[in-house]
Structure 1
Amino acid sequence: MSDIWWMILRRLALGVLTLFVVTLLIFGAIQLLPGDPAQAILGQAATPETLAALRTELGLDLPAWQRYLNWISGVLHGDFGVSLANKRPISELIAGRLANTLFLA
């Protein structure tokens, strides 16, 4: 292979590695945030049973490494999850704004 192909291949590999490290750092930082997401969603009046059910539904009862693997596998398959605020798929939210973003770019 010529030198240019090796350089392109090396750049692509470094780009993938950088993306992987960034996703790990962001996921880890989110895990370190204080508070319980299920408690924040349901409020202070939530019963322990409803909190446990929501944690199971959101996958918060799984170990962090398993939640990361589930999330990254979904992202690689085009499934970005569901917005907790809008209750809509995140891919729909992105698609609705992508045209304007590309126009401005």
Structure 2
Amino acid sequence: QPERLCQTLAQALNKLHSLKPQSFPSENHLKRYKEKALKNYQKGTFYNKTLLPQFHIHSREEAYQLIQEKGYILKADAFIHGDACLPNFILKDASHFSCFIDLGLAGFS
């Protein structure tokens, strides 16, 4: 039932991303990500394994240029889990989501 499981996980994440908690203690992850990208660029650090192949980015210069040109598109308006991997989803079965665990990196991004 991989298709059903994938659909269940997607629905759970979609619901999480639409939440707007008012008093959630969250730092600005997006700001931190951009700051880290700048620091890594300045240090000459580039982790090409962290990029999805469809971005066609092969150097730190290309990655940094993309952030400079398109970074304004990114908004910290979705509530994220922060570590949305299969072990952090609790399911009743493949069709029924129960809850998330390990929300230590959750916040807006």
TM-score, length basis structure 2: 0.29
The structure that has the greater radius of gyration is 1
Does 1 or 2 have the higher relative contact order (CA < 8 Å, sep 6+)?
2
TM-score, length basis structure 1: 0.29
Q: Which has the higher strand share?
A: 2
